[in-house]
Amino acid sequence: FSVKDIPTKPYEGQKPGTSGLRKRVKVFQQEHYTENFVQAIFDSIDAKDQTIVIGGDGRYFSPEAVQIILKIGSANGVKRFIIGKDGILSTPAASNIIRKYKAYGGILLTASHNPGGPNNDFGIKYNVSNGGPAPEGVTDKIYEKTKTISSYKVLEAPEVDLSTIGETKYGPSEVAIIDSVADYTILLEEIFDFPLIKEFLESHKDDFPILFDGLNGVTGPYARAIFVDTFGLPESSIQNCVPLPDFGGGHPDPNLTYAHTLVEKVEADNIPFGAASDGDGDRNMIYGKGAFVTPSDSVAIIAHWADVIPYFKKGGVKGLARSMPTSKAIDLVAQKKGLEYFEVPTGWKFFGNLMDAGRLSICGEESFGTGSDHIREKDGLWAVVAWLNIIAAANKKSPNKLVGINDILNEFYSIYGRSFFSRYDYEEVPSDGANALVKNLNDALASGSLNETKHTAGKDNFVVSSIYNFEYKDPIDHSISKNQGQVITFSDGSRVVFRLSGTGSQGATVRMYVERYLPPSASPEELARPAAEGLQSLIDVALEISKLKAYLGVDKPTVIT
Ligand code: VG1
Ligand code: CO
């Protein structure tokens, strides 16, 4: 076989963010751009004679990128590639494949919930052998390599047909094209009480219909296999479940703003349980008629109900965790159950070490990410099926009254109290303004100028008790991650967090997270209030303290979740 060295020059800015390298498709299409990054990955790992998994959400430019990875990977000595049919594997499915077939690592072609198509985003992410996103040590190394690259290696061979399941040879390498869905369905079947869920859904097909919306992302075929083929639900229980390279022109992000196809149908048809997932299948939203579950509550509730899920009943729950901006609801569950719990920086890669060390079972992020140690990525369908398992179990205990989402929420609040939580996103704002906002907070932190200051909004008063810049020391490998967000805490226990996004592909995105806790002793009416009402005064104070509108030159956030 002939391997060729192709001369190239470094491109600036190939720095992986919170979850891989994400840029506009047009950027990836520049001559040598994708090749440089892929060669930098192989220069940073030792994949010679190893197995590498390739998958992704099937977005525009994926087929071309798969062929590039094959050419460069094979020339760099990869022995075997395992590839989802047509290059498709959801992010959680890819994590499972890496683990199940003991691969050395995997390359995932996705920009997650970012829109796709020729004028939108593409992304490349490297995952390590535990199935999780590469830790910072590896991504830093990849970035360093991109800065000095002078050539990349390619195998000269005809393209591989990605559409036929089976084994083929590719130069000196083996290629296995696998069914994208089968291993994942087996995985969920081992985790959850499928017979219980099936029986519940069957016996309540009239008063508890469900709807899953794939938002034209990668989860469609997975959802069909589970809801229609396995649970025997009607075709009407899934929608937008054919993956499209541009997601049908939509923004495949499961939240109240972007998942409007789900929200509209749930409202119009009075559907008690709806759910959606993002482009690459790792996020989820649970939304029924008149009932919305915040992701921070969702993970806490799954932890509270863990013992109705066979996987946790059998293996036990080792520990719980959340990302820093996520509400502290899950901490309360850990305290009550006497479990260890952790607060890590934003991004799923920080959970992996704790899981590998056997200290973490269930974790989540406020950004609609929920998951467990069954794999090393967050898992959208896992969370949806977890909720169905919980609801089926709750109804078994309550044969005379149908238990729905709000009953589960209200019972949880009556035990633990409620953490009202909201996130404001200011997308694609000028980087200068975003940096100035952060600098202003850091200055206040250094000088102590905000400490003990009193702020009034409406009839509420807030006194600043501390400001800090979140820093994390990994308890397992002791690596330190600095500058993970500015946190302002108040004397009543409320807090506000500011962070710059690490997943955007254009300009800067500022995220503001607000959280306010009400104890279980509060009245049921107080506890059941809409989050926006419970939080308004704190939001006003956060905007005042940060001078956000002045720095960013905008009046309103682009998205509120
Ligand atoms: C965002 C979320 C973060 C999540 C990340 C990847 O990162 O805030 O919680 O882990 O996206 O999710 P950032 O840096 O933009 O805030 V996904 O579904 O885009 O892989
Ligand atoms: Co995603």
Predicted local distance difference test score (pLDDT) of residue 528: 85
Tokens coding 529? 């209030």
Write the CB contacts of 397 (distance below 8 Å, at least 6 apart in sequence): none
- Confidence bin at 484 (pLDDT 50/70/90): very high
Q: Looking at domain 418-560, which of 3.30.310.50, 3.40.50.1370, 3.90.1150.10, 3.40.50.720 is its CATH number?
A: 3.30.310.50
Q: What is the pLDDT of residues 118-127, one digit of tens each?
A: 999 999 999 9
Predicted local distance difference test score (pLDDT) of residue 17: 85
Predicted local distance difference test score (pLDDT) of residue 26: 97
Q: Does the beta carbon of 121 sit less than 6 angstroms from any atom of ligand 1?
A: no
Tokens coding 183? 């291993």
User: Percentage of the chain surpassing pLDDT 90?
Assistant: 85
pLDDT for 474 beyond 90: yes
| CATH fold group of domain 3-180 | Alpha-D-Glucose-1,6-Bisphosphate; Chain A, domain 3 (3.40.120)
- Site to probe by mutation for ligand 1, drawn from 110, 120, 346 as the one with most ligand atoms within 8 Å of Cβ, is 346
pLDDT for 495 beyond 90: yes
More confident residue, 527 or 336: 336
Predicted local distance difference test score (pLDDT) of residue 235: 95
Q: What is the pLDDT of residues 344-382, one digit of tens each?
A: 999 998 999 999 999 999 999 999 999 999 999 999 999
Instruction: Residue 220: name the closest of 381, 19, 111, 54 by CA.
Output: 381
Q: Does the beta carbon of 136 sit less than 6 angstroms from any atom of ligand 1?
A: no
pLDDT for 507 beyond 90: no
| CA gap 349, 16 in Å, rounded | 12
Which ligand lies nearest the alpha carbon of 365? 1
| CA gap 367, 258 in Å, rounded | 13
pLDDT for 493 beyond 90: no
- What's the CA-to-centroid distance between 344 and ligand 2, angstroms? 18
Which ligand lies nearest the alpha carbon of 500? 1
Enter the pTM of the model. Answer: 0.94
Mean pLDDT of the chain: 94
Q: Does the beta carbon of 219 sit less than 6 angstroms from any atom of ligand 1?
A: no
- Rounded to two decimals, the ipTM of the complex is 0.97
Q: What is the pLDDT of residues 247-282, one digit of tens each?
A: 999 999 999 989 999 999 999 999 999 999 999 999
Nearest CA to ligand 1 atom 4: 347
- Confidence bin at 522 (pLDDT 50/70/90): confident
Nearest CA to ligand 1 atom 8: 367
Please list the alpha-helical segments (H only) found in 59-181.
62-75, 91-100, 136-148
Which ligand lies nearest the alpha carbon of 132? 1
- What single-letter amino acid sits at 325? P
Predicted local distance difference test score (pLDDT) of residue 22: 95
- 325, 359, 499, 532, 557 from 512: Cα distances, Å: 9, 30, 7, 14, 9
pLDDT for 525 beyond 90: no
Predicted local distance difference test score (pLDDT) of residue 388: 98
Predicted local distance difference test score (pLDDT) of residue 532: 82
Question: Averaged over 214-234, what is the pLDDT?
Answer: 97
Question: Averaged over 451-474, what is the pLDDT?
Answer: 90
- 6, 13, 31, 43, 494 from 9: Cα distances, Å: 10, 13, 10, 15, 50
- Confidence bin at 548 (pLDDT 50/70/90): very high
Write the CB contacts of 142 (distance below 8 Å, at least 6 apart in sequence): 14, 16, 37, 40, 41, 43, 44, 126, 134
Of the ranges 232-236, 431-435, 502-506, the best mean pLDDT one: 232-236
Given the residues 74, 90, 112, 323, the one annotated as active site: 112
Q: Does the beta carbon of 253 sit less than 6 angstroms from any atom of ligand 1?
A: no
pLDDT for 503 beyond 80: no
The domain spans of the chain are 3-180, 184-416, 418-560
Q: What is the pLDDT of residues 64-115, one digit of tens each?
A: 999 999 999 999 999 999 999 999 999 999 999 999 999 999 999 999 999 9
pLDDT for 396 beyond 90: yes
The sign of the torsion formed by the CA atoms of 232, 391, 332, 417 equals positive
Q: What is the pLDDT of residues 29-53, one digit of tens each?
A: 999 999 999 999 999 999 999 999 9
Residue 419 a catalytic site member: no
| CA gap 544, 550 in Å, rounded | 10
| CA gap 315, 214 in Å, rounded | 31
| CA gap 83, 249 in Å, rounded | 26
Q: Does the beta carbon of 51 sit less than 6 angstroms from any atom of ligand 1?
A: no
Instruction: Residue 444: name the closest of 325, 546, 365 by CA.
Output: 546
Q: Does the beta carbon of 278 sit less than 6 angstroms from any atom of ligand 1?
A: yes
- What's the CA-to-centroid distance between 287 and ligand 1, angstroms? 20
Q: Does the beta carbon of 348 sit less than 6 angstroms from any atom of ligand 1?
A: yes
- Residues less than 5 Å from ion ligand 2, measured at CB: 112, 278, 280, 282-283
Q: Does the beta carbon of 503 sit less than 6 angstroms from any atom of ligand 1?
A: yes
Q: Are strands 369-372 and 472-473 parallel, antiparallel or unpaired?
A: unpaired
Predicted local distance difference test score (pLDDT) of residue 200: 97
Predicted local distance difference test score (pLDDT) of residue 506: 74
Q: Which class does domain 184-416 fall in?
A: alpha beta
pLDDT for 141 beyond 80: yes
Chain position carrying tokens 């959850």: 192
CATH fold match for the domains 3-180 and 184-416: yes
Predicted local distance difference test score (pLDDT) of residue 27: 97
- Confidence bin at 533 (pLDDT 50/70/90): confident
Rounded (5°) CA angle 161-107-253: 100
Q: Could you identify the atom of ligand 1 that is nearest to the CA of residue 503?
A: 15
Cβ–Cβ under 8 Å, residues 111 and 126: no
Predicted local distance difference test score (pLDDT) of residue 40: 97
Exposure of 10 in the CB half-sphere (CA atoms within 13 A): 13
Nearest CA to ligand 1 atom 13: 501
Predicted local distance difference test score (pLDDT) of residue 177: 98
